[in-house]
Amino acid sequence: MKKPDKPQLSEEQIAGIIDRALAEDISHGDVTSEAIIPPDLHAKATVLVKAAGVLAGAEVARQVFRRVDPSLEVAMLVKDGAAIQPGDVVATVSGRATSILKAERVALNFLQRLSGIASETARYVSETKEYNVRITETRKTTPGLRALEKYAVRLGGGQNHRFNLGDGVLIKDNHLAALRALGMSLAEIVARARQSAPEGMKVEVEVNTVAEAKAAIEGGADIIMLDNMSPDEMRRVMALTPPHVKTEASGGITLANVGAVAAAGVDFISVGALTHSVKALDISLELEPQTLRPLA
């Protein structure tokens, strides 16, 4: 499990992602805007919030507009991580109307999805705030968007799990099935991982029963993932887990049951739904008619 990260993104991290998204949407131009909007028409647009949540992706959206047209003036009025409410204006964009329209969809796609992730994470964090537990996501992210989506989780108050397969040892059910077929016990598998893993790297193992948790601890696991266990089973595991071994609850976690899971005493709760099926936050871009005029 990674240590808490500061919710920051570098331009290098997101430049390639933005370029791919723009190529997907406007590599053949914007035939509608180009056909009917005068190329010298100036406009100002506001980015308007329509649902309560946590803002994420402001800098990404700003860079989208600027990469489409460096002459656009983009003012971000609300910072990432801020609580937002319906009616809030989080940004304004001024400049060539055709450029604003070309960038609109890609900029909003990033803002809506990342804000949805940050907002949902914040809900899970709020449901567990009375417990000493950290909410994390998983690697169930949108292909190519992992850095952005994990950033959004951090903005919502969560902590990041592994970024990739080289980021930590996590022995899951299929690893166990492969080695058990060779006659190895769970404790032997964990001990083998400890012996072979890079020096200093934590070893985590997924378990489904109290007996498996005990074997993982005996094998030297640093973290045990309690997969699809009930809160009662989790409490039984906690009773036999030494202080130096961390515990993570995973599988079937929802807003309805996350509080009960946290009350069992686990250190981490991983929620794949934070990234694999989150609902985008409703955010729109509106041109202000009174600002439409020919470019000087």
The whole-angstrom separation of Cα 124 and Cα 118 is: 10
For residue 122, which phi and psi values (nearest 5 degrees)? -60, -35
- DSSP assignment of 29-65, as one string? --HHHHHHS-TTEEEEEEEEE-S-EE---HHHHHHHH
According to DSSP, the residues that pair with 93 across neighbouring strands are: 45, 74
Both structure tokens of 235: 């409490």
* Helical spans, DSSP H, in the chain: 11-26, 31-36, 58-68, 97-127, 146-155, 173-180, 186-196, 210-219, 231-240, 258-263, 273-276
The residue annotated as part of the active site, out of 227, 246, 248, 267, is: 227
Q: Is 232 a catalytic residue?
A: no
The residue annotated as part of the active site, out of 62, 140, 192, 235, is: 140
- Which residues lie below 8 Å from residue 216, measured CB to CB, with a gap of 6+? 186, 187, 190, 205, 207, 224
The residue annotated as part of the active site, out of 105, 123, 139, 202, is: 105
Both structure tokens of 65: 């507009």
Q: Is 140 a catalytic residue?
A: yes
Q: Is 172 a catalytic residue?
A: yes
The residue annotated as part of the active site, out of 120, 149, 206, 212, is: 206
Q: Is 105 a catalytic residue?
A: yes
The whole-angstrom separation of Cα 16 and Cα 163 is: 18
Buried-state track 112-142, b at ≥16 Cβ within 10 A, e below 16:
bbbbbbbbbbbbbbebbeebebbbbbebbbe
The residue annotated as part of the active site, out of 20, 50, 172, 279, is: 172
Active site residues: 105, 140, 172, 206, 227
